[in-house]
Amino acid sequence: MGFSFNEYFDDFEVKDRFKKEFISLWTGWLGKENSHQLDEVTESDWSRFNSLIKLIFKNYRMQIVDLRERKLNDINKIEETFSNYKDSMNKTTDKFSIYVIPELECIISEDWDYTYIIWYTNKTVIEKLEPFIEKSGLHHFS
């Protein structure tokens, strides 16, 4: 059981009732002085995000968002929702992955600069996902 697309989104935007927690390769925002690190990200670094999604998928039912059709689709094989490293470097925003975890009533969306966003209404969601974030070698911050 889950919610419909309209429970999470207004048109193509996540509803205002959701707060954001950022997931990154780094412990916080890089800033201009460290932006060179974006150019140094390896395929192994980048694959940590797929590892995170796999770990979550093993523990929670997930759906993938289809913004064009305005619906949530069940996922049978999580790997089929991933892009490869080369393709991900040239992705446009309309190709970013967006997942819903109905049990936690949250969204995980891919974003720019090797960042994912957890959209949540209850802070306990972050506590539940934190072990997966850490196990994947990633960091999170508000």
| Per-residue pLDDT tens over the stretch 30-75 | 877 878 787 788 888 989 999 999 999 999 999 999 999 999 999 9
Q: Rounded CA gap, 51 and 49, in Å?
A: 5
Q: What ranges do the domains of the chain cover? A: 17-141
Q: Which of 99, 53, 52, 93 is nearest to 73 (CA)?
A: 99
Q: Which of 115, 96, 98, 116 is nearest to 107 (CA)?
A: 98
84 alpha-carbon distance from chain centroid: 16
| Per-residue pLDDT tens over the stretch 91-124 | 777 788 999 999 999 999 999 888 999 999 999 9
